[in-house]
Amino acid sequence: MDMLRSLAPLTSAKLFFKLATFMTAALAISAVSADTEFTDNIPIDLARALLSGAGTAMEIRIYSDIPDGFPEFMLPDGATVLGSVDQGRNRQVILGSEGDGQQQLAELIDSLQQNDFLLLSPMGATTPRTGFVSATPQNLGIPSQLCHDTQGLLYLRQHTEADRTFINLTSLPGTSRGNFSCAGLAAQASNRGSPAFLNASRGGGSLQNSMPRLVLPDEATTQSPSMPLFLSGSPQQAESRIGFSVAWPLSEAYEFFAGQLTEQDWILDGETIGDRVALGAWTREENTQMLLGTLRLVSGEADGYEAVFEVSVLE
């Protein structure tokens, strides 16, 4: 009995130790899985690790101003330098401004051009010159790209949060241009927007150049405002197709596009407008060829429309 009494404290101590170990482990797990955000400053070692990536030996330098050797520019009115980072392979400067930042971005580009930077055509998708296009193409976030024969490439990208805009200037070394001069890059970028390039890249055939440009109503919304779908069945046929929504009756939507065709010298041959479908046949002479264009609008649900224009060569 005395032995049992003497063992009781040891048993309680072991139980307490196990309970304390469990609680410590639970707290540790809770601390690891918590999602506490940094609301102001973050540790410099953490910032360097996040910018360099795990497992890299690259030295990251973070500055409160602009690093030495960064391309010179005039700081726009209303903009402030938030900081910069040198990641070895590139250097970035972050500016902040009130409002949408459009004026500050324009001033930055002008300042760099005065320092012999060449503004290149935007990368990525080019607004089509023919077929269905939006009246107000969306901003795709494509950066402005500038080139200097000795200082390399410079990219300017902006994004807005609430009433504040951030502008990121990213400088790449001259070797990033490969064997191209800035003039060579400019010519290459310009060719991306040419009709010949668009035909080759989209498979539209040379007849796509003969497609009329049909701008959607200002009130229309679409998921692909800058790039309708182009199809081609043969070198003598091209098609543009797009879906959009607008609170217009079918007859009004059809007449809106028909007016644009007339303005572009297409001649109406015949048309019919029903409850759900509107069709029109149009002709135009071009380069000794007679072209046939057909416009088709199909109304769907919730003010939705599918618009198709097809052009072919009449034999």
pLDDT of residue 11: 43
The strand pair at 289-299 and 304-313 is best described as antiparallel
Mean per-residue pLDDT for 88-99? 86
pLDDT of residue 80: 92
Which residues fall within 8 angstroms of residue 259, CB to CB, at 6 or more apart?
none
CA distance 55 to 87: 14
pLDDT above 80: residue 6: no
Question: Residue written as tokens 């200082």?
Answer: 151
Greater pLDDT, 71 or 22: 71
The strand pair at 237-245 and 229-234 is best described as antiparallel
Contact indicator for 97, 158 with CB cutoff of 8 Å: no
Mean per-residue pLDDT for 95-99? 85
User: Can you read off the two tokens belonging to residue 296?
Assistant: 């088709």
Reported as a pLDDT band with limits 50, 70 and 90, residue 175 is low
Show the CA angle centred on residue 191, arms to residues 229 and 197, nearest 5°.
Answer: 35
pLDDT above 90: residue 73: yes
CA distance 229 to 241: 5
Arithmetic mean of pLDDT over the chain: 76
DSSP sequence for 262-298: HHTT-EEEEEEE-SSEEEEEEEEEETTEEEEEEEEEE
Domain 202-313, CATH: 3.30.310
Q: Residue 236 has what DSSP assignment?
A: T
CA distance 93 to 109: 14
| C-alpha torsion sign, points 195, 196, 202, 203 | positive
By three-state DSSP, how is residue 133 classified? strand
Mean per-residue pLDDT for 206-234? 71
Q: What is the pLDDT of residues 106-121, one digit of tens each?
A: 899 999 999 999 988 7
CA distance 275 to 281: 18
pLDDT of residue 161: 78
Q: Which has the closest alpha carbon to 291: 223, 208, 214, 218? A: 208
Write b or e for each residue in 41-63: b if 16 or more Cβ atoms lie within 10 A of its Cβ, otherwise e. eeeeeebbeebbeeeeeeebeee
CA distance 30 to 35: 10
Mean per-residue pLDDT for 135-153? 75
What is the value of pTM for the model shown?
A: 0.49
Reported as a pLDDT band with limits 50, 70 and 90, residue 284 is very high
Q: What is the pLDDT of residues 235-260, one digit of tens each?
A: 678 888 888 999 999 999 999 999 99
Distance, C-alpha 53 to centroid of its chain:
25
Task: List, in sequence order, every residue forming a beta bridge with 159; answer none if it has no partner.
Answer: 166
Mean per-residue pLDDT for 172-186? 77
Greater pLDDT, 208 or 266: 266
pLDDT of residue 178: 67
Which residues fall within 8 angstroms of residue 286, CB to CB, at 6 or more apart?
210
Domains of the chain, residue spans: 58-193, 202-313
pLDDT of residue 230: 54
Mean per-residue pLDDT for 249-272? 96
Contact indicator for 274, 297 with CB cutoff of 8 Å: no
Reported as a pLDDT band with limits 50, 70 and 90, residue 198 is very low
